Structure 1
Amino acid sequence: MLWLIGLGLLAASMASGEGAADDAAIREVVKTYLAAREQKDEKLLASVFTADADQLVSSGEWRRGRASLVEGTMASSAKEAGKRTVEIETIRYVAKDVAVADGRYVIAGAAEDRRMWSTFVLRREAGGWKIAAIRNMLPAGRR
């Protein structure tokens, strides 16, 4: 009987991703995304996105496709000074190869720190985890 429970728990954990190794890889993709922005490295930035990635930024602008994300991200980084950080707080696996990561997004060092939320949808591809979607949200009542 206990082995059936153990087998069930094992199956459930396998269905929800691979655990700590996947969590670490996902956090690393987000760190690489931020580093590419900081270094203004278009090639590195493009490497973290799926070909069909999209982003909805806090201003309401949509960016669709890898090239649009790279172009918009580089323009945004050039326009808005400050150090960007994203502290991933939760990672949830909605399928074996799809994860949703939520984190606090801060742009510090400008006139006033911008405090937002970001949600990343990541998909595991042949080369590892890639960002398929980003949603940046400004808390209600703040602009």
Structure 2
Amino acid sequence: MTGEALIILGCPEVPVQQALALYSADKLNTAGFDLTIAGNGAVLNLLRVSDPKKMYIRQMVELERCIEELSSETRNPDLCIVFVHNDAGVAYASSIRYLFKGRLVVLVFGKDAEERAAELTIPCEMIVDVAVHNPGKLKRKLDEVMGWGA
């Protein structure tokens, strides 16, 4: 599969986000997607430090700029994966759904995952787990939804 993919990350408060973002980036790059990761300055800096040779993270953009590009249709991905663990993530996922008509996968995680998932009333493929430190179960669910296998 090829095309453009977008990963949208929230604040880097929950450890599983970093691991799953890098994992997803590897899978999407391997599948031939032109991948961009969007997030706030803190999460983008963590990714720069985690991947200094840009093996997984090749293109990054500030979240506000990404939303502007989606709104103006200068960015038109085929796939968008949004990471949600707080109220701001719910708002961003809802905004993305409004601006983006393609395949939307939303990972809802953290201590309040069930509550955050209940707040999402948008059409999307939703993966929910209370994962905070251990990404294993969430990774398995993501593999299943994305068809990445074991």
TM range (shorter): under 0.3
TM-score normalized by the length of structure 1: 0.26
Larger Rg: 1
TM-score normalized by the length of structure 2: 0.25
Q: Which is helix-richer, 1 or 2?
A: 2
